[in-house]
Amino acid sequence: MIGKRALLGSFAFAVIACGTLTWAASENVLHSFGSAGDGQAPFAGLTMDANGNLYGTASAGGSHDQCDGMGCGVVYRLMPAGGGNWNYGVLHSFTANEGGNPYSTIAIDRSGALYGTTLYYDLGCGTVFSLRPGSGGTWSASTLHRFTCGDDGFSSYGVVLDSAGRLYGTAYAGGANDHGLVFYLAQQSALSWDELVLHAFDGTDGGSPVGNLIFDAAGNIYGTTYEGAPGLTGLVFKLSPGGGAGWQESVLYAFQGTGFTAGPDGVNPVAGVVADAQGNLYGTCDYGGPANLGAVYELSPNGSGGWTETVLYAFRGGSDGGHPYAGVILDQQGNLYGTTQGGAGSNGTVYKLTRGSNGKWTEAILYAFQGGADGSTPYGGLVMDSSGNLYGTTAFGGEYGGGVVFEIQGQ
């Protein structure tokens, strides 16, 4: 039996003395969705390979008139073509039998194979898939696992690879207690994969995990759940290998508040966390904070076995944005970058948080979406290239109304 140990830390607040800043950054639309079977509504963020190519999923559209006539979604790639131009290509259009509605980021292994998840298949419970590059630019699709809506879970929003190339993910629902789970896919042969449930949440120790997972050097897993904990407000958890097939869960922090009453520290984290070199964790909450519009937080080990939460920035809902559905990324200087769904005109923002010499954090809006050809409502997170340019997606807007892939320069 998998045990669990609560390590609930206290929370502190960083006072934000400075107002929101604006930044002279520019946006380039690399691709507008919604035309000629190229996909629509890319809710997930992007993944960049070593050559600077971008990979992602669109939750609808494609070349098959299935999934209620909306198309079942696609996996796509954008390749730099020089002179600021990019070449867009659909690598795979899903059929209803393979899976529908991928809300998944893409994981890439050392061979260049791609991995992700879909939410449904033939009105079923979702799949884990792979795409392998072949000759002549072709890609071969395989279904690695079909969720049954039972103890193996259902509705997964993505998988990640550990340092050995093994696949891990979360299922939003299902499991032994019907509160979701963390799973591992073990490859038995080229065409055979088995799912192992590492932890099934029971509601008190977490529930409804959505975000992707991360690993530390010791092989521990870190993630978040959208619900769970006494107030149904979500938490940050750690899974530690316990030998054999056993894993031990620790609750690092349970967000405050009860029911639908948000806590000042943030509630309901959708995205997972990222870690810095010192082992501090950073993430976002979709709700909570004084205005109940979400917050960016830091979790730091407190030296006595627990963790302390600090709210780095709480969104106010004006030009500074609101409802950070996506998580944050770190640059080499320790600055944080993310997106919000809301903001000026309610079309979303790209923001940067910078720590000052006094330890206080200041938010700068790098770009505020206007809701037209530039895109609207970025749900997914960001990736950064070696030059510091940021890349992401919006689920709506663009030339054809199906969302965009964008680049932010000058940040």
Residue 101: domain span: 4-409
Per DSSP, the three-state class of 250 is strand
pLDDT for the residue 187: 84
| CB count in 10 Å sphere of residue 81 | 10
Per DSSP, the three-state class of 136 is helix
pLDDT for the residue 22: 58
Q: Which residues pair with 57 in a beta bridge?
A: 75
Alpha-carbon span 117 to 97, nearest angstrom: 13
Task: List, as one string, the DSSP characters of 308-357.
Answer: EEEEEEE--SSTT-----S--EE-TTS-EEEEES-SGGGS-EEEEEEE-T
Q: What is the pLDDT of residues 247-305, one digit of tens each?
A: 999 999 999 876 566 788 999 999 999 999 999 999 999 999 989 999 999 999 998 88
Residue 24 pLDDT level (bands cut at 50, 70, 90):
low
Reference 280, options 301, 296, 254, 253; nearest CA is 301
pLDDT for the residue 6: 34
Please tell me which residue, 167 or 121, carries the higher pLDDT value: 167
Task: List, as one string, the DSSP characters of 257-300.
Answer: EETTEE-TT-B---S--EE-TTS-EEEEESB-TTTTS-EEEEEE
pLDDT of residue 74 exceeding 90, the answer is: yes
Query: Quick one: three-class SS letters along 158-190?
Result: CEEECCCCCEEEEECECCCCCCCEEEEEEEEEC
Residue 5 pLDDT level (bands cut at 50, 70, 90):
very low
Alpha-carbon span 166 to 122, nearest angstrom: 27
Q: What percent of the chain has pLDDT over 90?
A: 75
User: What CATH number has the domain bearing residue 396?
Assistant: 2.130.10.130
pLDDT for the residue 165: 86
Q: What's the length of the chain?
A: 411
pLDDT of residue 8 exceeding 60, the answer is: no
Number of domains into which the chain is organized: 1
pLDDT for the residue 107: 98
pLDDT for the residue 177: 95
Task: List, as one string, the DSSP characters of 23-76.
Answer: ---EEEEEEE-SSTTS-B---S--EE-TTS-EEEEESBBSS---TTTT-B-EEE
Read off the pLDDT of each residue in 79-92 and give the average, rounded to a whole number.
Answer: 95
Alpha-carbon span 36 to 72, nearest angstrom: 14
Per DSSP, the three-state class of 397 is strand
Q: What is the pLDDT of residues 202-247, one digit of tens each?
A: 999 999 999 999 999 999 999 999 998 888 899 999 999 985 558 9
**Contact between residue 252 and residue 272 where contact means Cβ atoms under 8 Å apart:** no
Sequence-distant (≥ 6) Cβ neighbours of residue 96 within 8 angstroms: 64, 66, 67, 72, 121, 122, 123
Alpha-carbon span 31 to 23, nearest angstrom: 23
**Contact between residue 20 and residue 364 where contact means Cβ atoms under 8 Å apart:** yes
pLDDT for the residue 136: 86
